[in-house]
Structures are given as C-alpha cells and as structure tokens.
Structure 1
Amino acid sequence: MTTNDVLHRLTPLIRARALHLPPDSAVLSSGTRLEQDLRMDSMAIVHVLEDIEDSFGLAIPDELLASVYTVGDLVNIVRTTSGEEGRAA
C-alpha cells in the first residue's frame, strides 16, 4: 500500500474526529498537524488510533503513541505496523 493509499484511507477517519477542518482541507496532507490545525485533543487522537487499528486490522504499539503529531505520523505508523515501510511508494 503506497503512502497516498494510506493517506486516502486515513482521511475519513481523521475527519470524523477533528473538531476543526481548515478551509483548504479537501485533502489532508502529511504535514497537517493534528492538534494545531485540526484542534484534536489527546483523546481524539487516541480514538483515531483505535479507528486505524480497527480499519486496518493492526495493533499499534503503545510506544508509538507519543510520537503522533501530524497526519504523516499516522501514515508512518500504519506503514511501519503493517510491514509496508520500505516498499515502493
């Protein structure tokens, strides 16, 4: 699964939990910040991670949770956890 594929699948999961969507958020980018841009608090981020686990059939290790700041971080977690990292993007 490419980075763009993962991002495409993550977008509705993130949008469902975001408190604010910037006007230019038709497509979320890897650089979109969860707290600052989407006004997500830590509980919303945890819920997104749970949604990701359910949607992708993954178990995300707890040690990765502290490093989630952007949409790109979520993409990297999915790719790393699913063993997709390092494959052609």
Structure 2
Amino acid sequence: MTTNDVLRALTPLIQARTEHPPAHPSAVTPDTRLEQDLRMDSMAIVHVLEDIENTYGVTIPDERLAGVYTVGDLMDIVRTTSGPGERIA
C-alpha cells in the first residue's frame, strides 16, 4: 500500500468518528492533528483504532494510543501491519 492509499483508506474512518470533519477529504493530511485540528477526544481516537483493527484484522495494544497524535501516526500503524491477525507492537 502506498502512502496515498493508506491515507485514502483512513480518511473515511477518521471522518466517521469526528464531530467536525473537514469540508473536503483532501484537507486530511498526515500532519493533521487529531485533537487540535479535528477536535477528536481520546475516546474518538480509540474508536478509530478499533475501526483500524476491524478493517485490517490486526490487534493494536492499548499502550499504542499514547503515541497517536496525528493522522500520520495512524498511517504508521497501518503501514507496520503486514498481514491479517498480526499484533502491532
């Protein structure tokens, strides 16, 4: 998956969990901050991580949440996954 593919796949997952999604999907970039730019709280971010688990068939440890601040951080989680059922450390 290319970086653009990952971003395109994550954008709907992120927008579904955001109360104030950007007007246009292209406004979501790897540098977009989840809390400050998208006004997501920690629970919304957890739900996005759950959506990633369900979409990609992976398990993301709870401690990984501490390092998720941007869309790029979410993209890194997806890119580090090589196959269904894999646990992401």
Looking at structure 2, the residues matched to 35 and 79 of structure 1 have their Cα atoms a distance apart, in angstroms, of 22
1:26 is matched by which residue type in structure 2?
P
TM-score of the superposed pair, with normalisation by structure 1: 0.84
Correspondence for 1:26: 25
Distance in 2 of aligned mates of 1:61 and 1:83? 16
Q: Distance in 2 between matches of 1:3 and 1:37?
A: 21
Task: Provide the C-alpha distance between the structure 2 equivalents of 1:79 and 1:26, rounded to a whole number of angstroms.
Answer: 20
Report the AA paired with residue 60 of structure 1.
Answer: I
AA aligned to 2:25 is: A
Q: With CA pairs under 8 Å and 6+ residues apart, which has the higher RCO, 1 or 2?
A: 1
Runs of 4 or more off by more than 4 Å in structure 1?
none
Residue 65, structure 1, aligned to residue 37, structure 2:
no
Overall identity of the aligned pairs, in %: 68
Could you say which residue in structure 1 is the equivalent of 2:7? 7
Aligned residues: 82
- The two structures, once aligned, show a CA RMSD in angstroms of 1.5
Unmatched 5+ stretches in structure 2? 84-89
Contact 1:13–1:51 (8 Å) recurs in 2: yes
Q: Deviations over 1:12-46 (max 9, x none)?
A: 000000111244x4321000110011110000000
For 1:69 and 1:33, how far apart are their aligned partners in 2? Answer: 6
TM-score, scaled relative to structure 2: 0.84
Q: Which residue of 1 aligns with 2:86?
A: none
Q: Work out whether residues 20 and 37 of structure 1, in 8 Å CA contact, stay in contact via their aligned partners in 2.
A: no
Map of 1:87 onto structure 2: none
Alpha carbons 1:30, 1:71 under 8 Å: kept: yes
